[in-house]
Amino acid sequence: MTAFVGRRLAQALLQIWGAITIVFVALRVLPGDPAELILGSQATPEQLAGLRAQLGLDDPLPVQYLHHLQGLLRLDFGQSWRQGVSALDACLERLGPTLVLSAWAMVFTVVLGFLTGSYAARHANSVADRLISVSSLVGQALPPFWIGIMLSLIFARGLQILPSTADGTMASLLLPAFTLALPFVGWLGRLVRTGVLEEMNQDYVRTARAKGLSDQVVFYVHVLRNTLVPIVTMLGLLMGNFIANGVIVEVVFAWPGIGRLLVDSITFRDYAVVEAVLTVITVCYITLNLLVDVLYGYLDPRIQLENA
């Protein structure tokens, strides 16, 4: 087990380093210069050169890269030139709202996914099952920004029963969280449906029925719990997806999260913040993956043995 975790940890570190390097290179390859964006279009060449030197932008790329890595070891991403604070602080300040949104999207996904999936499985091949299948496919296929704008038009502008922006109330969470959850409700629903159907055909179910247990007891006590095992391990990956998809949903619903910070920072070439945000997202994602892998190995010891 230790060897398994150790190897996965080493892989994770390598992945994080790779991501940091790709982000670093990608940002510098983009046309556009922070000094020009800071000083505006009326700056003189001398002013630009001075600011570039001050920001360390006139060093050769490999030198900048080394400085960058050295900084990272001290968790120092540099200063955000736009906000005048440390890039990591600027980033962590916006992580909270994103996590809240993701957590609620997770709740919606799990509740709705299990409800629709298990209903569909218990009424397999009925009209309702087909309807759920089709709508889950549609839900997965629709782009989140479109879903978001449509929900906002219907519930906020049309019916006027929900706020369209983060205004500090619980109600303002509903639309963005639901928008974020929708594509994955269908995805989870299909997983649950397949899982339940598989378990229903297992010997222990027949045994339980033979003992004279009611359908309800067989389903909730035995089948559903066994379906949980593979699915729970998928939820970690889901969290990563929420954080990534949140970029768009946060813009549509003016949610003050990390995704919007990322978009703004890219527009303004606020390198330090872009790097901090992407690194935080990457670390979150890789950590969750790592947890899931370890978890999976723990829940199903056969996995560890295969990897050993």
Return d(Cα 228, Cα 249) in angstroms, integer.
29
Per-residue x/- marks for other proteins, 85-104, CB under 8 A? x----x--xx-xx-xx--xx
Tell me the closest approach of the beta carbon of residue 254 to other proteins, in angstroms: 4
Distance linking the first and last C-alpha atoms of the chain: 8
79: three-class secondary structure by DSSP: strand
Contact region with other proteins (CB under 8 A), list: 185-193, 202-210, 213-221, 263-271: 263-271
d(Cα 96, Cα 106) in Å, to the nearest integer? 15
Q: Where are the alpha helices (DSSP H) in the chain?
A: 2-29, 34-39, 45-55, 61-73, 87-122, 127-141, 144-151, 171-200, 203-210, 215-217, 224-232, 235-252, 258-267, 271-299, 301-307
Q: What is the DSSP letter of 164?
A: S
Total binding residues for other proteins by CB under 8 A?
70
Whichever of 117 and 163 has its CB closer to other proteins, that residue is 163
- CA–CA dist 140, 190 (Å, integer): 11
**For other proteins, which is the closer residue by CB, 163 or 186?**
163
SS3 label, residue 54: helix
Nearer Cβ to other proteins, position 132 or 249?
Answer: 249
Q: Per rule CB under 8 A, is residue 173 in the interface with other proteins?
A: yes
Asked whether position 114 contacts other proteins by CB under 8 A, the answer is no
Candidate list 204, 301, 307, 308; residue touching other proteins; CB under 8 A: 301
Asked if 164 interacts with other proteins (CB under 8 A), we say: yes
Per-residue x/- track, 182-221, other proteins (CB under 8 A)? ----------------------------------------
Per the CB < 8 A criterion, the answer to whether 27 and 279 are in contact is no
Residues in contact with other proteins by the rule CB under 8 A: 30-33, 36-43, 47, 50-51, 54, 81-85, 90, 93-94, 96-97, 99-100, 103-104, 106-107, 110, 149, 152-153, 156-157, 160, 163-173, 228-229, 232, 251-257, 260-261, 263-264, 267-269, 298-299, 301
